Every structure is written in C-alpha cells, then in structure tokens.
C-alpha cells in the first residue's frame, strides 16, 4: 500500500493509504490509526455514510483519543470505488460515494461496485498483512455505513467480535434510500434485497446469537429518522428473534459528525471490551 500522508495523533500514528483493489478494479483509499505501543492490537473497521470518503470520519469523529486509550486500530475505508470509467449518477445517493456495502449484480455497477467483497475479504487481508493485529476485529459505521456495519456483521459473524452503529439505515428495503440503491445495484426483484437488510436478517435469524448486544445511537432531532432510518424496525426484529439491541435515543442530536463525536468514546469502550474479552 502506498502511504499518502502520516500524522502523529494521541501518541499513535495515522496514515492515509492508497492501493489497487482486486475487488473493485480501481484504486481505493483509506485511513489507518495505530495506537501507541508495539501491539499487537485488535481492529475496529469504520464504514462511513452517503457522500463520504475516508476523510470524514478521520478528521471529524474525534475517535483517536479513545482508540489510543483502549489500544485499538481504527480502519476507515472509502465508501465506494471512484475514478474514470467507474459508473456514477448525478444524485448524491447513488453511484460514487454511495456504494451501500453490497456487491452489485446489475449493469453498469457490477464491474466495480463490489464493496462487500472489498471490506470482508480484501481490506481485512490487507490490514492483517500490513499492521500488528491480534486478529480480533469489530465493525461500526454511520447511516449508510451503519447499514453496512450491521449487515456485514450479521452476514459474516465469524469475522467480527462486535458491531455498533450511529443512525443506521436499519431496513433499506423499507426506505427511499435503500429502495433506490438496491433497485440499481441488485435489480427490481425485492426478494434479493432482504439479504442486505439488517432488520430482515435479524428477523430471519441470520447471525443470531453471535453478538451479546448490538449498540445503536440515534439522535431524536435527526431529519432522516422517520423516513429513512427507522431504528424501531431493528428493535422489533431483535425482540422477535431474541437478539439484544441497545437503542440509545439521544435528545437533541442530529445526523452530523457532532453527534458521532459526542458518543464515539462509548462505542470504542463497547468494542474494546469485546475485542479483548
């Protein structure tokens, strides 16, 4: 991997990196924070939301003090393939910056939009090869990335110790963002969508019993809460399937990184307890 930038932060090292991805067929960028010390360290993979790159979380979430305290590597990849020859759409909620962490099966998206494979196979392999890890890892994310964290953790429970999310798209088969993206990437047959819907996966028992708790933070002043995010569907699914879900409704908080910065320390502590347990 090519090192683009290096910064010292909270006693650790933050690197911006670039590599040629076999999964997407494009260059991909990411940031990796390694805490102080020799390691090895467990890993938290952070998945960002619509329109974001690897830089949004890296510069805005304020996560690295807690990561240094708990001794956790944080990996933040870009949200989609990008570049000349990569399919795109003028809308913010489809195409580049809106990969939805699925492997697209429909043209023109299928050749490059393979974000599930990228995260669970290629990215994990790169981090294991290039950084001092213990082999224990967890997932978290925001909005579209919260959807990605939940669905990838449920679909691949052998890879992750824990999962949490901020304001996730809880059931993309039942909201405009998800319906638009899944129609484009996966086709109009709605039955194929359920495998990438966290609430429906939990309802169906997928990944059930692998996680002692799933932690969700949601601001009650989030403008997308009612139409797009619908965390109550996650809670209902968890109750029906016997999966514990801790939904923390945070009064007055919106959808921004100010919200995440306010509670990211709680999420680092949640994951560290499980990554080292």
The 3-state DSSP composition of the chain as helix, strand, coil percent (nearest 5) reads: 40, 25, 35
What does the angle CA 198 – CA 117 – CA 137 come to, to the nearest 5 degrees? 70
Q: Are 60 and 117 in contact (CB under 8 A)?
A: no
Determine whether 28 is exposed, middle or buried from the number of CB atoms within 10 Å of its CB (0-12, 13-18, 19+): buried
CA pair distance 193, 238, nearest whole angstrom:
19
- List the beta bridge partners of residue 138: 44
- The CA dihedral of 186, 192, 196, 197, to the nearest 10 degrees, is 120
- DSSP code for 205: T
Catalytic residue among 78, 170, 222, 271: 222
Q: Is 222 a catalytic residue?
A: yes
Catalytic residue among 21, 31, 80, 143: 143
Catalytic residue among 142, 255, 267, 271: 255
CA pair distance 148, 172, nearest whole angstrom:
11
Q: Is 197 a catalytic residue?
A: no
Q: Are 224 and 192 in contact (CB under 8 A)?
A: no
Q: Are 219 and 255 in contact (CB under 8 A)?
A: yes
Q: Is 217 a catalytic residue?
A: no
Closest CA to 98 of 40, 15, 45, 169: 169
Q: Are 197 and 171 in contact (CB under 8 A)?
A: yes
Residues annotated catalytic, as ranges: 143, 222, 255
């Amino acid at each position: 991997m090519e090192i683009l930038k290096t910064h010292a932060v909270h006693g650790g090292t933050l690197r911006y990196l670039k590599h040629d991805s076999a999964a997407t067929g494009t260059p991909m960028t990411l940031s990796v924070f390694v805490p102080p010390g020799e390691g090895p360290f467990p890993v938290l993979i952070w998945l960002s939301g619509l329109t974001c790159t690897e830089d949004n979380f890296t510069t805005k979430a304020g996560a690295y003090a807690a990561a240094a305290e708990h001794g956790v590597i944080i990996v933040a990849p870009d949200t989609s393939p990008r570049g000349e020859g990569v399919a795109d759409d003028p809308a913010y909620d489809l195409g580049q910056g809106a990969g939805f962490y699925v492997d697209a099966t429909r043209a023109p998206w299928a050749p490059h939009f393979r974000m599930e494979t990228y995260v669970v196979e290629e990215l994990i392999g790169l981090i294991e090869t290039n950084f001092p890890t213990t082999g224990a890892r967890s997932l978290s994310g925001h909005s579209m990335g919260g959807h990605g964290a939940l669905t990838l953790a449920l679909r691949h429970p052998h890879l992750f110790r824990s999962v949490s999310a901020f304001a996730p798209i809880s059931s993309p088969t039942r909201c405009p963002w998800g319906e638009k993206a899944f129609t484009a990437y996966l086709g109009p047959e709605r039955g194929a969508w359920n495998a990438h819907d966290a609430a429906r996966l939990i309802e169906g028992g997928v990944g059930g019993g692998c996680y002692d708790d799933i932690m969700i933070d949601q601001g009650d002043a989030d403008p997308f809460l009612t139409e797009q995010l619908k965390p109550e569907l996650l809670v209902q699914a968890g109750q029906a399937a016997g999966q514990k879900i801790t939904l923390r409704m945070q009064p007055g908080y919106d959808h921004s990184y100010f919200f995440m910065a306010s509670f990211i320390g709680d999420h680092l502590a949640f994951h560290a307890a499980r990554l080292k347990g």
